[in-house]
Amino acid sequence: MRVKRGFTLVELLVVVLILGALAAIAVPRISQSAQTAKINACKTNVDLINAQIELYYANEGSWPDSLTDVTGNLNYFPDGEPNCPLDVAYVYSDTTHRVADHDH
């Protein structure tokens, strides 16, 4: 006589519950990590833009009139204007001659 081997319904249910619990822990952490990465990328873009504004001043002897004077110039951004991964526009201040960090 042959004995059939396999998983019982209870064993499969236990495995599904364990996988569900692991997913419930992992998914929020992954989504939070993605948001943190976007915020860090945005801050890096702000630092890069401000450095290029300084370079513009060193090269031209005056501050740019608008942000597009720097971001639209291929000498400063050969790959094109950096965009905020959070879809928030960068704003140039005529008084500080800087782009400020966004509120995230």
* Assigned domain for 5 exists: no
Can you give the pTM of this predicted structure? Answer: 0.71
Does 27 map to a domain?
A: yes
Q: Does residue 9 fall inside a structural domain?
A: no
Give, in order, the Cα–Cα distances in Å from 59 to each of 18, 53, 55, 73, 76: 61, 10, 6, 13, 11
Find the domain containing 78 and state its range.
Answer: 14-99
Residue 90, in any domain of the structure = yes
In this structure, is residue 57 part of a structural domain?
Answer: yes
Per the structure, the count of domains in the chain is: 1
Mean pLDDT (the chain) is 89
46-89 confidence digits (pLDDT tens): 999 999 999 999 999 999 999 999 999 999 999 999 999 999 99
| 54: CB partners within 8 A, 6+ apart | none
Instruction: Report if residue 83 sits inside a domain.
Output: yes
Instruction: Please check whether residue 2 lies inside any domain of the structure.
Output: no
Whether 3 is in a domain gets the answer no
